Amino acid sequence: MLRHVAVLALAALCLPAQAKVDAAQAARLGQDLTPLGGERAANAAGTIPVWEGGLTTPPASYQPGMHHPDPYAGDAVLYTVTAQNLGQYQKVLPAGLQTLLQTHPDYKLRVFQSRRSAAAPQYVYDATKANATKAELIAGGNGVSGAAAGVPFPIPQNGQEAIWNHIMRFRGEQIHMVANHVAVLANGSYSLVLRDREIYFVYGRQGAQEGDLDNTLFHYKYSVTAPSKLAGSALLVEETIDQVMAIRKAWRFNRGERRVRRLPMLAYDAMQPDTNGMATADVVDAYNGAPDRYEWTLVGKQEMLVPYNSYAVHQKGIPYEQILKAKTVNPDLLRYELHRVWVVEADLRTGFSHPYAKRRFYIDEDSWQILAVDLYDKGGKLIGLQESHPINYYDVPVFSSTLETIYDFKGSRYFVDGLDNNEPMYDFNADISPRSFSPASLRQQGN
């Protein structure tokens, strides 16, 4: 049986009080700490291995443009967690996963050998080490200065720094992707919405300097290509770093009106279109945007069962109806592993409203990818669970989600984004430039 490891004392890191760390602390990166700030060593029980650089070499069967073959396909299930044996594993499960198991007795977690596959390019590691001694929170924690290209706070001292690490983590330099999202209703019915998407990252580029950023994290746009009743609508976003100083800019092309309109607000609790009211603007990528409406607490680090190395659900040709079951994603296609995660709590500040008055984030120590989020309402009731099912896109390499889910416990329904099994694979070398992201280009993409 797994031995639960208690929250680690943050004081053990012996950090100075200011946001920046000194050269001696930064020197730990790439030594006893991984280049992004995780603990390199295995855990005491040996159930989490040493980080040895992650997965940087594609399997021999991989060819560019393929959906990524599972490098761990030969791994056997170590054990399965169900509603019946939940008591043995409660201490290493997010509260939302416990509720999912209790609510759906047929659901299960297939737990596999822990594989620390997360990796990034060397320039990201170099930039992260440079950031460690220079990066600071500004504007009350709503912005970051002194950072570029890499993780800003690899040795975090508070919850805001940890969430900024997720927001500003490496996700590639540019991506062209085609993927479906879908709201699966309580009766099991759903309708796929297919989007053609492009992202150009400003912050994470090789050679990026702080002076080059102009307060811009990335440019993003999509056009809906199916179903036909929605096809042609499109969205453009300029994602700022400090969104309190300069609000996120967004434009929408409406096929019916045949015109591009500037959106006054696409952030926080604004509802995303075509999600059946399940996805607010800030749940994309597990959490995005300004952190100013929450109080952030860095609880510490724990060993938890979380989605990881989700190659099985990523494979080409899987029919979407095989993935989307009536109440949950098909558990036979999901993989869970024991990993150390940073636990961060966000409590809604007085005077603001949001369906999620409290969130508890579980952030991967090796990549800063949020892996799970417990969602609570203003009465303190657990009302939902977010999960990011990640893989190492080893051709880059970048560790990121292949599938994102939101379970609405009150409505007995769920939302999924990232279904691409029957679409072209992500292109991390697409011919994309900042010139592609203008209101005029949005109209062209929507047509």
When pLDDT is cut at 50, 70 and 90, the band that residue 3 belongs to is very low
Whether the Cβ atoms of residue 42 and residue 332 lie closer than 8 Å to each other: no
Contacts for 238 with CB less than 8 Å, ≥ 6 apart: 216, 219, 248, 249, 250, 437
- pLDDT of 382 strictly over 60: yes
Range from 52-66, 112-126, 152-166, 257-271 carrying the lowest mean pLDDT: 257-271
Measured between alpha carbons, how far is 373 from 384 in angstroms, rounded to an integer?
8
Residue closest to 330 by CA, chosen among 400, 389, 280: 389
- pLDDT of 447 strictly over 80: no
Measured between alpha carbons, how far is 89 from 45 in angstroms, rounded to an integer?
16
When pLDDT is cut at 50, 70 and 90, the band that residue 429 belongs to is very high
- pLDDT above 90 covers a percentage of the chain that reads 87
| pLDDT given at position 16 | 36
| pLDDT given at position 445 | 62
Q: 259 forms bridges with which residues in the sheet? A: 254
Measured between alpha carbons, how far is 396 from 99 in angstroms, rounded to an integer?
36
- pLDDT above 70 covers a percentage of the chain that reads 95
Is the pTM of the predicted complex or chain greater than 0.85? yes
Measured between alpha carbons, how far is 154 from 40 in angstroms, rounded to an integer?
13
| Per-position DSSP letters for 216-274, written without gaps between them | EEEEEEEEEEESTTTTT-EEEEEEESSTTTSPPEEEEEETTTTEEEE-S--STTPBPTT
- pLDDT of 1 strictly over 50: no
Range from 16-30, 47-61, 131-145, 405-419 carrying the lowest mean pLDDT: 16-30
| pLDDT given at position 12 | 34
Residue ranges with strand state E in 82-153? 109-111, 136-138, 143-145
Largest CA distance in the chain: 61
Structure tokens at 93: 């499960």
Range from 239-248, 274-283, 399-408 carrying the lowest mean pLDDT: 239-248
* Average pLDDT of the residues of the chain: 93
**How far from 114 is each of 7, 74, 86, 147, 315, CA to CA, in Å?**
20, 13, 20, 31, 20
Range from 31-40, 154-163, 360-369, 431-440 carrying the lowest mean pLDDT: 431-440
- pLDDT of 442 strictly over 90: no
| pLDDT given at position 20 | 83
Phi and psi, residue 95, nearest 5°: -60, -35
- Amino acid at the residue 323: I
Measured between alpha carbons, how far is 368 from 440 in angstroms, rounded to an integer?
35
Q: What is the mean pLDDT of residues 234-251?
A: 90
Q: What is the mean pLDDT of residues 4-32?
A: 64
| pLDDT given at position 243 | 80
345, with CB counted inside 10 A (0-12, 13-18, 19+), is: middle
